[in-house]
Structure 1
């Protein structure tokens, strides 16, 4: 089976992978070809990498392998509040060593995969030939994005019927992909969310979301430790991952020979890897970047040192980066030992997971994971729906809105909501805010992330922000 099992006293995870080799196993790799590791976009999984895995230039000339992160797709793990991007980098390192993967080129698509790969390149540089980062987000999530994703994810996770779930999921996907996305793509995304992110699996969605929203920035000193060639591809009109953050990362990658390369996709927005036209440009730029690099064989050679010793070396390096000597004495065979979150944040994430795991057996399951939905979202019954703002749908006064009226009013005037979760009506309050409000206020390297409950939507006017006005 295409899984890598990671066991330790404090953790368990099973990481799913797929390859372009015969029988989908690593032993079928052609040693004469270089290897590309692909990390999927946030809130998606490796099934959404067809435009990269199916590109003939990559499929014929490279060994390809893609992983589902520990709380995504077909991978699964023991839920933990200590899950962050350093943990995912450790997962990837374990996979490299257990599968005896050769040094590889990393293609990282959106969000958490980027921060996982940057950390992986710092701690395990010998496994990384190059980095290609697609749509670099802000070091710490912007307040207005944090608030919107927070509330929309919560509404979808605690929906009690199909109609409410579909509308909440649609609003969230529209926020991530933009309001002008292709209707057929939106239908496919809704079908995917119905089968992989239903309320009955909301603890997995919550864990993935917390890793994304509660990320911490790398210091300039840590970024300077990356010495592999780096290509950054950024959507020109991406409002969620603005160009200035990619430009800032370029200036921080001072250890990259000849500097990192920044390429902007004209008209590109978010999630360019799954939008047909933009994905074609992405693949073309990535292919040209690889052809400039030295050819590297993919011989499967057992590690020269034990996995324990290599991971121990990585923990020592991480302790130096974090300026915390205690990290070096943690269990090197446990990915959670690499967590760099503050104790308050770990506690908040643990409380969040406990909240999301309550009554899972009673939560909505729209459809079996192996079956496609019977209807497309765009072809559903529209009685009680109205069209506003360039054809977008919104709930009229006879239906419950995605966000409670109280929350929307307080968001508009910047008011403060209760800091305690309202278990009597889960959708009445965003639990991410209450769980992280204390820890998120800390300053990290000069960047302040304040409590979302005190945040008003003061970002520049954009089509995405109009969704909360309906």
Structure 2
């Protein structure tokens, strides 16, 4: 089976990958063609890259390979409090070494993919021919909807009935695709969420949410370490990550070869690599970009360096760009040696995962006996006295005295308005992580047993946590 196993100490991951080769393995790559590594959007997996794998312009001219990140798709992994985008980049380095991959072009979609890719390019520059990021993420999640996103993830993970779950999933879908998402695509995304991340699998959702919500912003010096050709593709109507952040990154990538290029897709919003209306445009722009670069072969031969030496070079590079010589002395055989998050956040991530995993197997299941969703979202009944509008928010019908106001979809789905593009601060992120645990149903249940239901409201806001320091 196409897996890459990573095991060191208590850490374990088995990364699933797919290719466009005849056998499905890298052994049958065409050595005369360049290789493209594709990184999927967050909350999705490599199966959602079929728009790229199915494009003959990419499929016939390049060797394609895509990995499922930890907790995504078919990848199996043991949760680790140290996981962040830096350790995800190390996972990719381990996979490249294990599969004998040649230097490749990187195609990265959305938040987790883009954050992984830019860190991989900084740490292992000799493995990257070029870097393309679609929907450039903000340094951290925007403060304008940080807590709203947190609440939706909590509602998703702890839904106790199908209507509540579908409401949460439709809101998440509106976040990542934009409010005008096609009904069939919305059905497909929600069905995928219900199948892969139902409430009884909420521990996997917590693992992904930890990396997404607790990420730290890249420093200008770290961005300056990128020296490969860089292409940024961004939609000018993206509500999650306003285009201003793409312009900021272009300015910060001061050492990108020939300067970083930004291509703006008019009207583009959400997952531009998944939406049919924009995916083909992204493919075309990407192909025009890489076709201008020197042709590279995909030679299948054993790496010159052992795994230990190969990864040690990455740790040495990280030590240099962070001005922390101690990093170079970390264990090169563990991806977790690349972790950059504080001890406090590490502990919070562990506690959040454990709280989500508690009684997860007893949680609500939206699946039938055949393992499929019980219904399509579009087939739900509308027989209640609330009706949903075009942005899936409910309102009361037939009240003549109610004054009508124009609907702003961006406000309904949590998108920031003009002037609200400030990334969340470290304090906001830490407080949110603490509250995520404090108000977890499992945590509240345990506190009720200790202090009784009458006193629970007095203590849930101040549950003591053993926090360390960096």
- Shorter-chain TM-score range: 0.7 to 0.9
Tell me what 1:360 maps to.
Answer: 360
What do residues 205-263 of structure 1 show as CA deviations (whole Å, max 9, x unaligned)?
11111211211111111111111100000001111111111111111111112101000
Which residue is equivalent to 2:400? none
SS in structure 2 of the partner of residue 361 of structure 1: helix
Structure 1 256/59 Cα, relative in aligned 2: closer, same or farther at 3 Å?
Answer: same
In the other structure, the counterpart of 2:127 is 127
- Does structure 1 residue 256 correspond to structure 2 residue 273? no
1:187 partner SS: helix
Conserved? CA contact 2:37–2:106, under 8 Å: yes
SS at match of 1:144: coil
Mark the CA change 1:131 to 1:281 in structure 2 (over 3 Å): closer, same or farther.
same
Tell me whether 176-185 or 93-102 shows the greater mean CA deviation.
176-185
CA 1:360–1:371 in 2, change beyond 3 Å: closer, same or farther? closer
Contact 1:155 1:427 in 2 (8 A): no
Q: Do 1:36 and 1:65's aligned partners in 2 also have CA atoms closer than 8 Å?
A: yes
Structure 1 residues 326 and 236, CA gap change in structure 2 (3 angstroms)? same
Equivalent positions of 1:210-359 (< 5 A) are 210-359=210-359
Shift in CA distance, 438/279, structure 1 to aligned 2, threshold 3 Å: farther
- Measured after TM superposition, the shift of residue 114 of structure 1 is 0.5
Equivalent residue for 2:16?
Answer: 16
CA deviation after TM superposition for structure 1 residue 328, in Å: 1.9
CA deviation map 1:146-202 (0-9, x unaligned): 212111011010011222212211112112222211111100001100111111111
Q: Which consecutive residues of structure 1, in runs of 5 or more, have no partner in the other structure?
A: 398-407, 409-413, 443-470
Matches within 5 A, 1:384-403: 384=384, 386-390=386-390, 392-394=392-394
Given candidates 415, 430, 438, the residue that maps to 1:421 is: 438
Match of 1:190 in 2: 190
- The alpha carbon displacement at 1:354 in A equals 1.2
For normalisation by structure 2, the TM-score amounts to 0.84
Q: Could you tell me how far apart the structure 2 residues matched to 1:184 and 1:203 are?
A: 28
Aligned residue for 1:36, secondary structure, equals: strand
Change beyond 3 A, Cα 1:165–1:285: same
- Separation in 2, partners of 1:37, 1:110: 15
Distance 1:170 1:294, change over 3 A: same
Kindly provide the CA deviation profile for residues 121-148 of structure 1, in whole angstroms up to 9, marking residues without a partner as x. 1111111000000011111221123212
Distance 1:369 1:290 in 2: 47
Unaligned runs of 5+ in 2: 398-413, 415-427, 446-456
**Aligned partners of 2:329, 2:49: CA distance in 1, in Å?**
38
Contact 1:69-1:75 within 8 A present in 2 as well: yes
Indicate if the aligned counterparts of 1:131 and 1:230 stay in contact, CA closer than 8 A.
yes
Note closer, same or farther for the CA distance 1:425–1:13 as it changes in structure 2 (3 Å cut). Answer: closer
State how far apart, in whole Å, the 1-side matches of 2:243 and 2:30 are. Answer: 38
Q: Is the CA contact (8 Å cut-off) linking 1:93 and 1:120 kept in structure 2?
A: yes
Question: C-alpha displacement at 1:365, in angstroms?
Answer: 2.6
| Per-residue deviation, 1:423 | 4.8
Count of residue pairs brought into register by the alignment: 421
